A and B are shown apart, each in its own frame.
Chain A
Amino acid sequence: MRKAIKRHMGSAVAWGALGILVVFAVCSLLAPVLTPYEANAQDIMNRLVPPAWCAGGSLEHLLGTDELGRDMLARLLYGSRSSILVGVLTAMLSGGLGVTLGLLSGYFPKADAVIMRIADIQLAFPSMLLALAIVAVLGGGFFKLVMVLGITGWVSFSRVIRSEVLSIRTSDYILAAQTVGVGQARILFRHILPNIIAPAVTISTFQIATAIISESSLSFLGLGIPPTTPTWGNMLHAGQLYMDSAWWISLFPGICIMLIVLSINLLGDVLRDYMDPKTRQN
């Protein structure tokens, strides 16, 4: 009985999380329809207007305006486009890179020596400095930013994946596959890879959140997305200066980031359970 409730609850949570993600996706696509304002339309006369339900707020700006009089709702809607894209693309890139390198490093001791030393160097090196260096050489822009974040993010994947592979590699079922004559490539991708998907999914969800926030710091330094493009990250950042007078500027993007990360995390859990044959049955 308790199990039934738990399972039922589990699916309710999953649907809720999926719902939130769908709402975000639809809103970002339909931004021009949902709000009459341009994301960058300044209105100095109406700067720092509080949200509609607060004293001094007006229905014209439901979530208020920022320090330049730009409509918060419009900026959130338009900002979701780049933020979600940065998060997802970065997680995919660093995940692909990190899982591959982690697999190799866990399975081949010689590759391990090289890959893990590079990882150590990268961990010791301030990632912001590395990002700055890469951007300085390659220049800024959306895809450069994704690349930089992706490259700085692979270590957290490969460290975890490597240790998982190390323990799986010596298990009897891998030995069994070797003794029946299965080749190394097939052992890596068909026997080991399915067993490390669960931790990889968990780290990706975390990576999406980190990327959305890192994007803001890089953009703040003028290295990522230009300030004319609204992102949740740069809104959060801009609001810092007005924390005590106009809390809404950073609160709303913060809530958005939290909601999206939470729903991705919950979905990740469900996905992980689904991929485990033990919990998929019944």
Chain B
Amino acid sequence: MSEALLEVKQLKKYFPIRSQLLKREVGAVKAVDGVTFSLNTGETIGIVGESGCGKSTLGRVLMKVYEPTGGEIYFGGRDITRLRGAELKEHRKQIQMIFQDPYASLNPKMRVRDIVAEPLWVNRMMSKEEAYGQVDSLLTTVGLRPTDAPKFPHQFSGGQRQRVGIARAIAMSPRLIVADEAVSALDVSVQAQILNLMMELKAANHLSYLFISHNLAVVKHISDKVGVMYLGNMMEIAEKNLLYHDAKHPYTQALLSAAPVADRTHKSQRIVLKGDVPNPANPPEGCPFHTRCAQCKNICKVEKPAFVKVADMHYVACHLYGGEQVQGNAS
């Protein structure tokens, strides 16, 4: 097994809520509230959850777009939680991002060659001329033609634009790519093409992905392991097949039962959750899921469950399962 590329321990990101008049802090939205996981080189972790569960915030905190409120992030063994300035800039070469909306993530006034070459020369990795020399091969790598280089983003389809975004992300040969809903805005047939491209790139460049999505099928296709988030908390992390066939957490079970399955013989026993996701500014005491959980016990209402190992490569935060407690090094 390869070394851990990314280790996240008890990561928290709270967004302060300020009062209208005096701008005093009156509370906080707990977008990410103590998330722990790790990712090995060459691995893909899928992060799934409903809208507003904090999965995009998690991605952005890892990109250091947002400063984490608490917890630690280790990248390649190095603590990057508090990196700033030049060190941060240097570090960012190693983590890149693919965005959800290929229409919003490319500057409409820039030509494709400028978009793709920019990361290379602004970081002084090479001269401007050399950077532009790389454009053709980068475009070919992502399945575009060198003749596309002088075009503007609006001349491309959604899938092609996403390829441009991928070319920009891989230009600096990063080690980790955070893909935030990278295929959600695309047609299903194009989704498959982009996913295949991402998997080819991963194999060829020894990349790791943090793949954020609400689409369980897509995550299943691309990931090695999957984490399920709910209200800023990681509820369950497991190796892909374990999670999809032997989900432990009641929330994961409900999530999986709600996903459509293209198999007529499949008997669906849908678990319907009652109520809404609680407000992350005022999360429930104890287990964040207890307000909607069918198997809620008394302890769930008062004590937040610890992350426990239920099997090899399978961790869950639920009082239904006892087991070996994990102190911030789930893998």
Bound-state Cα–Cα, A278 to B108, Å:
8
Contact segment of A36-44, A54-62, A117-125, A169-177: A169-177
Question: How many Å from the CB of B211 to the closest CB on chain A?
Answer: 17
With both beta carbons as reference points, the residue of chain A lying nearest to B123 in the complex is identified as A181
Q: Which of B92, B96, B107 contacts A191 (CB 8 A)?
A: B107
Question: How many Å from the CB of B68 to the closest CB on chain A?
Answer: 16
Bound-state Cα–Cα, A208 to B108, Å:
29
- Whether A173 touches B104, Cβ cut-off 8 Å, given contacts A179-B92, A195-B109, A281-B155, is yes
Which of chain B's residues 99-124 have a Cβ closer than 8 Å to chain A?
A: 99-101, 104-110, 118-119, 122-123
B92, A173: Cβ atoms closer than 8 Å: no
Number of A interface residues at 8 Å Cβ cutoff, please give it: 20
Bound-state Cα–Cα, A171 to B95, Å:
19
A-B contacts counted at CB < 8 A amount to 68
Determine if A186 is an interface residue (Cβ-Cβ < 8 Å): yes
Chain B, interface size category, equals 20 to 34
Question: How many Å from the CB of A20 to the closest CB on chain B?
Answer: 30
> Chain B binding site: helix, strand, loop or mixed by DSSP?
loop
Determine if B172 is an interface residue (Cβ-Cβ < 8 Å): yes
A181, B89: Cβ atoms closer than 8 Å: yes
Bound-state Cα–Cα, A195 to B107, Å:
9
Q: Which of A172, A177, A179 contacts B101 (CB 8 A)?
A: A172
Question: How many Å from the CB of A161 to the closest CB on chain B?
Answer: 15
Bound-state Cα–Cα, A179 to B172, Å:
12
Which of chain A's residues 146-193 have a Cβ closer than 8 Å to chain B?
A: 171-183, 186, 191
Bound-state Cα–Cα, A180 to B119, Å:
5
A179, B108: Cβ atoms closer than 8 Å: no
Q: Which of B95, B97, B122 contacts A176 (CB 8 A)?
A: B97
Bound-state Cα–Cα, A176 to B99, Å:
8
Bound-state Cα–Cα, A281 to B152, Å:
10
From A174, A175, A186, A191, residue with most partner B Cβ within 10 Å: A175
A172, B92: Cβ atoms closer than 8 Å: no
B99, A172: Cβ atoms closer than 8 Å: yes
B92, A176: Cβ atoms closer than 8 Å: no
Of all A-B residue pairs in the complex, the 9 with the closest CB atoms, nearest first, are: A180-B119, A172-B105, A194-B109, A277-B152, A172-B104, A173-B107, A172-B99, A181-B123, A181-B89
